[in-house]
Chains A and B, each alone.
Chain A
Amino acid sequence: MSIIEFDKVNKWFGQQHVLRDIDLQVEAGEQVVICGPSGSGKSTLIRLVNRLEAHEEGRLVVDGITIDDNAKSIEAVRRKVGMVFQQFNLFPHLSVLENLTLAPVWVNGTAQKDAEAQAMQQLERVHIAEQAHKYPLQLSGGQQQRVAIARALCLSPRIMLFDEPTSALDPEMIKEVLDVMAELATQGITMLCVTHEMGFARSVANRVIFMDDGQIIEEAPPTDFFDNPQSARLQEFLSRIL
């Protein structure tokens, strides 16, 4: 069974039909990149997975849990799914280390000391352990985003969602974040990643998905996706961004 299963999922914002009959299976350990023009529903799609948005029709199952209004199952899913945002969204009133230990201590009930040890491990994983006692606003954008990745990893999620993780970064910082994400990919964590970094998609993803107008237009392994696009819309999209 797939770790994420969308079955005829639909979503509206008011009268606007933003996701239309989405069918998508993601296997455990797969790295999937989602791309498409802005307003195509990419972010909404991955925000359904941890219920930051609620779908209105269809069935969505994440790691065996059917996503619905049930607060218990939402809580359970969020413990299995980590998320990284475009604007980092670190907690500015807490130090880097406190940002990382917050959820393990208060959600999983981990002892403070163990949580800190684990947090330091994750910080090393994203190469930023020396900044543990600084506050988020004292770090550069790239550093903040790596801390955000480490924070999401602290709950040992099975799935990581990335919502345009490099779009708010200066060019020279994009690489340090993409490198960390590529390292994660080699460690076998399931990744669902909305990004415009086509180089990353080509080298890291198992599968690339193209969305437009709330629909999945095309999905293929990166070589086919980039070198042999089938639909006219994808061809046009690629010609504009590459």
Chain B
Amino acid sequence: MSDSIVFSPVTARPAPHRTQGISAWARTNLFSDWPNSIATVLLLMIFAWYLPQLIDWAVLKAVVRPDVDACQAAAHAGACWGVVSEKYRTILFGRYPYAEQWRPLAAVLLMLSLVGVSAVPRMWRWYLLPLWLAGMVLFVALMGGSVAGLTPVQTNLWGGLPLTVLLSLGGMTMAFPLAILLAMGRRSTLPVLRTLSSLYVELIRGVPLISVLFMASFMLPLFLPQGVKLDVLIRVLVGIGLFSAAYMAEIVRGGLQAVPQAQTEAAQSLGLGYWKTHGLVLLPQALQAVLPSLVNSFIGNFKDCSLVTIVSLYELTGALSLALGGDVVWRPFFLEGYLFVALIYWSFCFGMSRYSMRLERRLSRSQART
């Protein structure tokens, strides 16, 4: 037999230094093997070929002044940002009366600051709700006028960014609670409730948003009782809310499905009823689990709002076609206009994405095993 092993202590020592530094990073990430190295070199070549052209077009040869002749002289070899300088008011505010456009600007800033305030976890108190209600009322008052000496502006003239913000925020605020109720309905033990919720989700998910918008704007009025008139904006808003609720409901249901049954039992054994079990125990865990999908769906909704153009509401993209479509002189430079609108969309979506990542980190504090 062999001798018994004699224990000799090993002191901890630092890791080899090869894992740090730029060259080490490049070696593991850019040149780890042959295919990786080829891809890196190819991509670098594409960048080297394309980037100067892009800078040339977007910056060096670009025309920033709202000067049609200069833009035409540049003949698309340089970007014509002049179209943005010339038309930005129409792009941002649509057909809203020119002299009154400080009102939609104020309304948008109001909504964005409300969103900003609500994003801070320290502000998650009961008074957020009345704050939002007051904000909504103020928004409508600013946009619609006929109070405090503001000239009335019909909703069909509302457009551009304020409309996009209103439709997406309003749609989400409506859709989210409805989605939670639908998700709970689909998991209910009551057969009627379960069937109705499933029916709703399957029906709404089965049709395109465009047809829902058409229904809301052209068919709904036919079913309303005589004398009742709902503003087209409200009908479209309700349509968007009902539509996205069906999608979000499935996300929320997935989250609820992921919470172990034992959590329900623990809550029940403490005497919590159905609503409190959901509100205090199941939903906080479920929503945390599906936060990335929810944000995904929010971002999708934000951009889907551009479909309302088909029922003659001119939000951001609609307002752009409005601004350029009727103007033969500036129409050739629609690409620059679209890039401008894309930048606005992108900054909103990027903001949402970054915020959701921060929120995820914050919420996952309870999962850390330290």
Q: Which residues of A contact B (CB under 8 A)?
A: 50, 52, 71, 75, 78-79, 81-83, 85, 87, 89-95, 102-103, 106-107, 135-138, 151-152, 155
Contact = CB atoms under 8 A, between A and B. Distances in A.
Interface stretch (B85-93, B227-235, B277-285): B277-285
A102 B268 CA distance: 12
Nearest to A87: B262
B281 A137 contact: no
Nearest to B279: A106
Contacts of A85: 262, 265-266
Contacts of B280: 102, 106
A94 to B, nearest CB: 7
Given A87-B262, A93-B366, 8 more contacts: A50-B269, A79-B271, A89-B263, A93-B288, A93-B363, A107-B270, A135-B366, A152-B270
B369 A89 contact: no
A75 B266 contact: no
A91 B264 CA distance: 10
Q: What 6 pairs across the A-B complex have the smallest Cβ distances?
A: A89-B266, A103-B270, A83-B269, A78-B271, A135-B366, A107-B271
B285 A92 contact: yes
B2 interface: no
Interface in B238-274: 262-263, 265-273
Interface residues of B, number: 24
A135 B365 contact: yes
B370 interface: yes
Contacts of A78: 268-271
B366 A94 contact: yes
B11 interface: no
Interface in B273-325: 273, 276, 280-281, 284-285, 288
14 contacts: A52-B268, A52-B269, A78-B269, A82-B269, A85-B262, A85-B266, A91-B267, A92-B366, A93-B285, A93-B366, A102-B270, A102-B272, A138-B370, A151-B270
